[in-house]
């Protein structure tokens, strides 16, 4: 079985490669798909095949799929990410790949939000292609909050427009282990699974965790979506980007990240990384 990990030069992709090796998958059975192969000399040095793979350039995708049994499609970050995802899905179908694993976003069929719309469209494209697939709907990464906590070291506050919402975050490593299991076993075949941390925490609890990690008082400051948008524009973001970022907070306030049923911990066979531990590890690694 040969496994292709797309976006393998990114934070999540590298961790998935590590998780596959830890599960006993031979380096020679892993293909790292990356946009710029020269940036991943370390993977090649470990005996992992490196293939150029750019979602936006279909001519790079088919060669990367040669001899591949299963594919992890890590969601892209380009402006037109859905088109890139469709390029990979089409190539996967044409190559007769046994299974596709996709990293989606939470509750995309329940709550409308800009980020979720791209993932919902990708899920629909996968269904339309008729390929065997595992959809892992990732809740937030705890690492997403490292910048906010780092700023709080100076400001003493975490500012957000999320109200009293809860977030069931987990570390990227937790999600990477689940992706490795989805690639290497049949346990999660043809399933769509909401995966997240064992505990859904509030932003007041995030501020309390930051207080402990930083060793100084940190509070959560609630603002409206409009106030956040204006603040982001004042900080230099263009209007479109500011609205997109503030829209994520709005989706969180409407419950996009609050659900957790322990699926992730059941998949990986251990508790997910607690919030405070994830923050401490992430800041130490910077």
Task: Take residue 240 and report the two structure tokens written for it.
Answer: 């479109």
Please name which of 160, 262, 246 lies closest in space to residue 206, comparing C-alpha atoms. Answer: 160
Q: What is the pLDDT of residue 77?
A: 87
CATH of domain 3-138: 3.40.50.720
Backbone angles phi, psi at 157, to 5 degrees: -145, 155
Parse the chain into domains and list their residue ranges: 3-138, 139-171+196-260+273-286
Task: Take residue 181 and report the two structure tokens written for it.
Answer: 């299991």
Rg (CA), the chain: 19
pLDDT per residue of the chain (286 residues) written in tens, 0 to 9? 999 999 999 999 999 999 999 999 999 999 999 999 988 889 989 999 999 999 999 999 999 999 999 999 999 988 799 999 999 999 999 999 999 999 999 999 999 998 999 999 999 999 999 999 999 999 999 999 999 999 999 999 999 999 999 999 999 999 999 999 999 999 999 999 999 999 999 999 999 999 999 999 999 999 999 999 999 999 999 999 999 999 999 999 999 999 999 999 999 999 999 999 999 999 999 8
- What CATH number matches the domain at 139-171+196-260+273-286, 2.120.10.30, 3.40.50.10800, 3.90.25.10, 3.40.50.300? 3.90.25.10
Please list the residues that pair with 50 across neighbouring strands. Answer: 32
Q: What is the pLDDT of residue 120?
A: 97
Under a CB-based contact definition with an 8 Å cutoff, are residues 176 and 18 in contact? yes
Q: What is the pLDDT of residue 180?
A: 98
Under a CB-based contact definition with an 8 Å cutoff, are residues 280 and 146 in contact? no
Q: Note the helical H segments in 81-166.
A: 81-95, 114-129, 146-155
Q: What is the pLDDT of residue 79?
A: 78
How many other C-beta atoms can be found within 10 angstroms of the C-beta atom of residue 173? 22
Q: What is the pLDDT of residue 39?
A: 86
Residue 82, sorted as left (phi over 0), alpha (psi -120 to 50) or beta, turns out to be alpha
Q: What is the pLDDT of residue 201?
A: 98
How far is residue 176's CA from residue 179's CA, in Å, rounded to a whole number? 5
Residue 139, sorted as left (phi over 0), alpha (psi -120 to 50) or beta, turns out to be beta
Q: What is the pLDDT of residue 78?
A: 82
How far is residue 154's CA from residue 264's CA, in Å, rounded to a whole number? 34
């Amino acid at each position: 079985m040969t496994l292709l990990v797309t976006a393998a030069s990114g934070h999540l992709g590298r961790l998935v490669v590590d998780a596959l090796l830890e599960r006993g998958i031979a380096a020679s059975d892993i293909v790292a798909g990356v946009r710029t192969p020269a940036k991943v000399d370390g993977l090649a040095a470990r005996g992992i095949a490196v293939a150029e793979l750019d979602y936006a350039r279909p001519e790079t995708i088919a060669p990367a799929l040669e001899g591949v049994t299963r594919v992890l499609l890590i969601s892209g970050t380009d402006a037109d990410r859905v088109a890139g995802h469709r390029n990979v899905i089409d190539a996967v179908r044409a190559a007769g790949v046994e299974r596709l694993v996709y990293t989606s976003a939470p509750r995309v069929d329940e709550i409308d939000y800009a980020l979720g719309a791209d993932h919902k469209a990708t899920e629909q494209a996968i269904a339309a292609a008729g390929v065997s697939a595992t959809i892992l709907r990732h809740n937030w990464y705890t690492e997403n909050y490292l910048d906010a906590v780092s700023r709080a070291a100076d400001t003493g506050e975490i500012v957000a427009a999320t109200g009293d919402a809860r977030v069931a975050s987990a570390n990227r490593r937790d999600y990477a282990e689940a992706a490795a299991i989805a690639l290497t076993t049949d346990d999660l075949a043809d399933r769509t699974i909401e995966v997240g941390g064992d505990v859904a925490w509030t932003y007041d609890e995030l501020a309390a965790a930051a207080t402990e990690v930083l060793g100084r008082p940190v509070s959560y400051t609630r603002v409206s979506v409009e106030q956040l948008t204006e603040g982001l524009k004042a900080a230099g973001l263009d209007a479109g980007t500011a609205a997109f970022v503030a829209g994520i907070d709005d989706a969180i306030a409407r419950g996009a990240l609050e659900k957790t049923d322990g699926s992730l911990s059941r998949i990986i066979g251990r508790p997910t990384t607690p919030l405070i531990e994830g923050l401490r590890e992430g800041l130490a690694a910077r």
